[in-house]
Chains A and B, each alone.
Chain A
Amino acid sequence: MSGRVRELLKSHGTPPREVYLDNENSGWVPPEVVEATLPYFNVKGYGHPSITNKPGWEALELILEFKELLSSVINGEPENVHITHSGTEANNLAILGVKRRGKVIVSDVEHYSVLLPALTLDAVRAPVDEQGFIDLDVLSQLVDSETVLVSVQAVNHEIGTIQPVKEVYEVVKDRNPDALVHVDACDALGRVELNSDYADLMTFSSHKVLGPKGAGALYTKVKLEPPLKGALSTETLWPGVENVPAVAGFKKALELYLEDDLEELRRKRDKLIKGLLSIPDTLLNGPRDRRAPDNVNVSFLRVEGEAITVELSMRGIYVSSGSACTSRLLEPSHVMLAIGRSYEEAHGSVMFKLTRYLTWEDVDYVLEQVPEAIERLRNISPL
C-alpha cells in the first residue's frame, strides 16, 4: 500500500514554491514549537505526571503551566482545565460526559466531533442562517425545562462564522438556568475573545493553533462522568497518560498564537477574498463581517472541489474542499448544506486557513495560480 502512495508522490513531484493553507485539517507546526516538545521525550519531564519522582514532577510542572496559560486566556481557573489527546476527545467528553440525561441541542454547523456524539443522544439541531449564524429566536424556542445541554461553536471550522457566544449563553440561561452551554472553541482560540463566564464547558485543540497533534483540552465548570474508562492520571476525566511533549508544544504554539497580529491576518484574508471573488462565478461561503481573521472559503461554480485540491497541489498550493468527492458517503459538507448552498455549490467549495507564516508574496502567488487552475478545470468541464 505504501508503495502506491510513494509512486503517487514521485509522480506529483515537489513544486518550486509551496504554500500550505490546509491548517484547518492539520496544522503546520513551527520549528520553535517542535523544539519546545523535544526535551519532554528524554531530557526532562519524560516521566508520568502523577508519579512521585523527579521526571514525573517535571511533567506535572509543565502540565500545570499549560493549564495556567490556557485558563488565563479565557478568564478561568486552571483547575477547570482537563487535558485530552485531541479536540475530538474533548468534545466527546463534553457531550457524553454530562451526567444528567435530557434534551441536547447543537447547532447545525458543529464539527463532527460534537455532532456525532450528540446525535447518539437524539440531539435537536438548531438552524443557522445563510452566513452560518445561529438563529437566537429559534434557539430560544428550542430550549425548554428538559434541556440539559446546548452546544454552539465559537468559530465555525469551515466558514469562519464567529457565533455570538455571549448572547447564546444568555438566551439559554434565560430559558433554563440549569441547562449547560458547551462552546467548541477549537477554531476560536487566539483568534477571537473568549470568556469562560459565558460557557460551562469549552473545547480546545493543539493542532488548530499550530501545536502538534495529540493534545486537546476541555474546560469544565461542572462535574462530568468520564465516558472512556481506564486508569486516571492527574486528569480525573480522561484516562491514559497525558501526551506531555504534545502539551509542551500546545503551550508554546498558544504563546505564539497570542502574539499574532490579527489586523495583518485580516488584511491578508481580505486580499485573498477580494482576489478570489474576482474570478467569475465564485461565491464567498460564510460572512464578510464577524468572520475569523484566518478563514477564507469560496465556491467555484462548475468545478469540482477535489479536482481543485489536486490541481492546486501540483502548483504547490495545499488546500481542502467540502466536496462530496472527499467524503466516504459522497455527501458534501454538512456545513455548506446547512447554510443553504446547493450540492453543486458545495462540491466547488475550497477552504484556506491562514497563519502568520503566510507572506504577502504567498498571497500574490495564490492569487496568480488559483485563477489559472480554475480556468483550466472549467475548460475541461461541459457545464
Chain B
Amino acid sequence: MLMSTRVPLPYTPKVLELFRNPRNLGKMESPDVVSQAGSPACGDVITIYLKIRCGIVVEAKFESYGCAANIAAASALTEMIKGKKVEEAWSVEWKDVADELGGLPAIKRHCSILAVGALRRAIRSYYKDEKPEWLPSELTLAERQALEEEELIDRLYGGRVART
C-alpha cells in the first residue's frame, strides 16, 4: 500500500556541518583495501578506503552517493576509526556513528548501518587470507543489511536499466 511521501527530517547541526565540509573525502592513492556497500538503485552507495599499518588504521577515506545523512555518516565513521586498532574499528556500531552525529532521524538510520557495513566489508576483505581471532565468521547485522539492500535491486528494478 502506498503511503504519503513526505517525512520530516530535522538533521542535527553536525550532520549539516559534515555534509557541508566532509572530512576524509575522496579516493585514496594505493590503499590497502577498498570496499563498497549499497546500490545506486536504492539511492545510497558508500566506498571506504583504508590504509593499515601494524594493525592500526592509519588512514581512512570515503566517497558517497547518497543523501546528506549518508555523506555525514561516512565522514563521521572515517574520522572515528583513524588511529584506532583494526579490531577497535571493527567494533564501532551504527549507533556509535549515529550518536557521533548527534542522532539521526529513524528513517535515516540505515545510512550509518550502511557506512558500518562498508567498513566491515573492507576489514573482512583485508583479512581474507589470515583471519584474526576477533573477526567473527558470521556476517554481522550491518554487513547483512548492506547485502540485503544490494539484493533489493533485482526486486525493485524488475530488470529496468538506467538510461543515460
The answer to whether A327 and B5 have CB atoms under 8 Å apart is yes
Binary B-proximity of A217-242 (CB < 8 A = 1, otherwise 0): 00000000000000000000000000
Contacts of A333 in B (CB 8 A): 5
The answer to whether A383 and B2 have CB atoms under 8 Å apart is no
Which of B36-44, B82-90, B93-101, B125-133 lies on the face that meets chain A?
B36-44
Binary A-proximity of B1-45 (CB < 8 A = 1, otherwise 0): 111111100111100110110100110000000001000111111
The answer to whether A343 and B68 have CB atoms under 8 Å apart is no
Contact partner of A342 (CB less than 8 A), chosen from B7, B47, B70, B160, is B160
Which of A3-11, A94-102, A254-262 lies on the face that meets chain B?
A3-11
Contact partner of A380 (CB less than 8 A), chosen from B3, B10, B11, B25, is B25
**What is the bound-complex CA distance between A344 and B19, given in angstroms?**
21
The answer to whether B63 and A307 have CB atoms under 8 Å apart is no
Contacts of B157 in A (CB 8 A): 342-343
Does A304 reach chain B (CB closer than 8 Å)? yes
Which residue of B25, B43, B71 has the most chain A CB atoms within 10 A of its CB atom?
B43
Contacts of A379 in B (CB 8 A): 26
Q: Given A301-B164, A342-B161, A380-B64, decide whether A327 and B11 contact each other with a Cβ distance below 8 A.
A: no
Contacts of A310 in B (CB 8 A): 11, 16, 19, 67-68
Binary B-proximity of A336-355 (CB < 8 A = 1, otherwise 0): 00001011110100000000
Does A328 reach chain B (CB closer than 8 Å)? yes
Binary B-proximity of A361-383 (CB < 8 A = 1, otherwise 0): 00000000000000000011111
The answer to whether A326 and B66 have CB atoms under 8 Å apart is no
Q: Chain A, interface size: which category?
A: 35 or more
Which residue of A25, A304, A332 has the most chain B CB atoms within 10 A of its CB atom?
A304
The answer to whether B2 and A344 have CB atoms under 8 Å apart is no
Secondary structure of the B contact surface, majority rule: mixed
Which of A44-52, A111-119, A244-252 lies on the face that meets chain B?
A111-119
**What is the bound-complex CA distance between A329 and B107, given in angstroms?**
9
Contacts of B2 in A (CB 8 A): 112, 115-116, 119, 329, 334
Binary B-proximity of A127-155 (CB < 8 A = 1, otherwise 0): 00000000000000000000000000000
Contacts of A347 in B (CB 8 A): 40, 43
The answer to whether B162 and A344 have CB atoms under 8 Å apart is yes
The answer to whether B3 and A325 have CB atoms under 8 Å apart is no
Contacts of B13 in A (CB 8 A): 7-8, 10-11
Does B54 reach chain A (CB closer than 8 Å)? no
Contacts of B26 in A (CB 8 A): 379
The answer to whether A380 and B5 have CB atoms under 8 Å apart is no
**What is the bound-complex CA distance between A283 and B36, given in angstroms?**
27
Contacts of A303 in B (CB 8 A): 65
The answer to whether A343 and B160 have CB atoms under 8 Å apart is yes
**What is the bound-complex CA distance between A238 and B56, given in angstroms?**
68
Contacts of B25 in A (CB 8 A): 380
The answer to whether A328 and B5 have CB atoms under 8 Å apart is yes
Does A83 reach chain B (CB closer than 8 Å)? no
Contacts of A344 in B (CB 8 A): 40-41, 43, 162
**What is the bound-complex CA distance between A328 and B5, given in angstroms?**
6
Q: Given A119-B2, A342-B41, A342-B161, decide whether A304 and B36 contact each other with a Cβ distance below 8 A.
A: no
The answer to whether A325 and B160 have CB atoms under 8 Å apart is no
**What is the bound-complex CA distance between A1 and B10, given in angstroms?**
9
The answer to whether B65 and A383 have CB atoms under 8 Å apart is yes
The answer to whether A4 and B43 have CB atoms under 8 Å apart is no
- What is the CB-to-nearest-CB distance from A91 to chain B, in angstroms, rounded to a whole number? 13
- What is the CB-to-nearest-CB distance from A298 to chain B, in angstroms, rounded to a whole number? 14
Does A267 reach chain B (CB closer than 8 Å)? no
Contacts of B64 in A (CB 8 A): 380-382
Binary B-proximity of A294-332 (CB < 8 A = 1, otherwise 0): 000000011110110011001000000001111111101
Contacts of A302 in B (CB 8 A): 40, 65
Contact partner of B68 (CB less than 8 A), chosen from A112, A306, A329, is A306
**What is the bound-complex CA distance between A302 and B162, given in angstroms?**
11
Q: Given A345-B163, A382-B65, decide whether A323 and B43 contact each other with a Cβ distance below 8 A.
A: yes
- What is the CB-to-nearest-CB distance from A63 to chain B, in angstroms, rounded to a whole number? 29
Contacts of B67 in A (CB 8 A): 304, 306-307, 310, 323, 325
The answer to whether B11 and A8 have CB atoms under 8 Å apart is yes
Q: List 8 A-B contacts (CB under 8 A).
A: A8-B10, A8-B12, A325-B44, A325-B66, A326-B7, A380-B22, A381-B65, A382-B36
B residues lining the A interface (CB < 8 Å): 1-7, 10-13, 16-17, 19-20, 22, 25-26, 36, 40-47, 63-68, 70-71, 107, 110, 156-157, 160-164
A-B interface, 7 closest residue pairs, ranked by CB to CB distance from nearest: A11-B13, A382-B63, A306-B67, A381-B65, A325-B67, A382-B47, A347-B43
Known A306-B68, A314-B16, A343-B160; 13 more pairs at CB < 8 Å: A283-B164, A303-B65, A307-B19, A310-B67, A325-B66, A326-B6, A328-B3, A330-B107, A330-B110, A380-B65, A381-B65, A382-B63, A383-B40
